[in-house]
Chains A and B, each alone.
Chain A
């Protein structure tokens, strides 16, 4: 069974440009999460989808970030326009349990997309 896959693995863009990160969760996992690690800091929650609905987007830094999940399958995270402080590693995770990460679920993480904004 394929794990959580993320694309691209690394993206280098200029400040002001747009970048779209993609995540394909494990098949059948309704819960999808985005997390981010900026240099020297801990991994932080961005948002949580249940199927195609946003359950919690309290961690999204600002309105330059837009996440979507088409048909409850793959998800995209768009940063527009990118700023220097957006550099970091963006992780996607998924889980089959409806309340995963809450009441008992185990999260499965992808390898992350490294974003460098110059």
Chain B
């Protein structure tokens, strides 16, 4: 049974810091991994989607890597800003299914 874990559960950093959020999953048989952002009371916004054959994806200040064999993904945020404050979720699609398995998220607060 696939399980997704995100560490840390919460993180508070000063503005301008580079930071790394971690996501680990127990079964390497996945189709893809997607990182989302959720603002309080809002829906999920897709940040980056990494296919199982890819190693990383970049969008602006965000870079996500995927190491399928070790069951890990990291989301790197460069030069963090207060507007980056949100909950970050990762989700994987186990092979043979069409549904996401979500982690519990990392609640990020960037202090001005």
Question: Which of B32, B34, B51, B99 sits near A56, CB closer than 8 Å?
Answer: B99
In the complex, are the beta carbons of A102 and B98 less than 8 A apart?
yes
Q: How far is the CA of A100 from the CA of B41 in the complex (A)?
A: 25
Q: In the complex, which residues 61-118 of chain A have their Cβ closer than 8 Å to any Cβ of chain B?
A: 91, 93, 99-104, 106-112
CB A104 to nearest CB in B, in angstroms, measures 6
In the complex, are the beta carbons of B100 and A91 less than 8 A apart?
no
Q: Does A4 contact B (CB under 8 A)?
A: yes
CB 8 Å contact bits of B99-112 with A (1 = contact, 0 = none): 11111110000000
Residues of B within 8 A of A33 (CB): 99
Q: In the complex, which residues 5-59 of chain A have their Cβ closer than 8 Å to any Cβ of chain B?
A: 31, 33, 35, 41-45, 48, 55-56, 59
Q: Does B29 contact A (CB under 8 A)?
A: no
Residues of A within 8 A of B102 (CB): 35, 42-44
Question: Interface residues of B, CB < 8 Å — how many?
Answer: 25
The DSSP consensus for interface residues of chain B is strand
In the complex, are the beta carbons of A100 and B98 less than 8 A apart?
yes
In the complex, are the beta carbons of B46 and A101 less than 8 A apart?
no
Residues of A within 8 A of B103 (CB): 42
Question: Which of B41, B44, B49, B105 sits near A91, CB closer than 8 Å?
Answer: B44
Q: How far is the CA of A101 from the CA of B105 in the complex (A)?
A: 19
Residues of B within 8 A of A109 (CB): 36, 43-46
CB A58 to nearest CB in B, in angstroms, measures 8
Could you give 6 example pairs across A and B, Cβ below 8 Å? A31-B98, A43-B44, A43-B89, A56-B99, A102-B98, A112-B43
**Which residues of B are at the interface with A, using a C-beta cutoff of 8 A?**
4, 31-32, 34, 36, 41-46, 49, 51, 89, 91, 93, 97-105
